Amino acid sequence: MSLVWREQIWGTEPQQKHDHVVENILRDKADGWRHDYYTDPSTGYDVHVARAAAEVQQHRIQIKKYEVALDKTTARLEASKKEPKEPEVKKLTQKEAEALEAEYITLYKLKCEQLVLLDGSQKTLQEMEWKQYLQKKRLALLQTLRNSFMLDGDADYMRRGVTWVEEYIARQRNA
């Protein structure tokens, strides 16, 4: 931890609401440091992040499919407007042209809906990634405190540090 954090930790009054974390570290010490509770980087948000990322990807795939379909529809409409002498020209009847234009409108609306859904999914993903980051940061800071306590045995500093970490993470969640 940086010198600034060390100074902030010394200025922090321990709070009882964080005693469960202190007790975990003390239990780890009593059992010969074999628990190492805070070393695992996995969080409760990992599954949520994966699901949100999969949802974002599904929307992107669907948008791409609509874009391909829109391009094909546009190409067919444009080809029907060319001179009959050109090889790729396939004249459409009025009814066929109107049907293609209606299909284009429908596809475009569906693409727009997917874009709106994508935006919402991306926001959800960002929120989940932020929560995941904060949880990983919390675990890393608590692991650092635990390791520091292993080396110096300063229980008072560790108690203050636990309160500082928990309050710091709570402030970041609310920011």
Q: What is the pLDDT of residues 73-83, one digit of tens each?
A: 998 888 887 76
Q: pLDDT over 70 for what percent of the chain?
A: 95
How do the domains of the chain map onto residue ranges? 3-174
Looking at residues 130-142, what average pLDDT do you find?
97
Residue 35, CB half-sphere, CA atoms under 13 Å: how many? 14
Judged on CB neighbours under 10 Å (0-12, 13-18, 19+), 103 is: middle
What is the overall mean pLDDT for the chain? 93
What is the pLDDT, as a whole number, of residue 77? 86
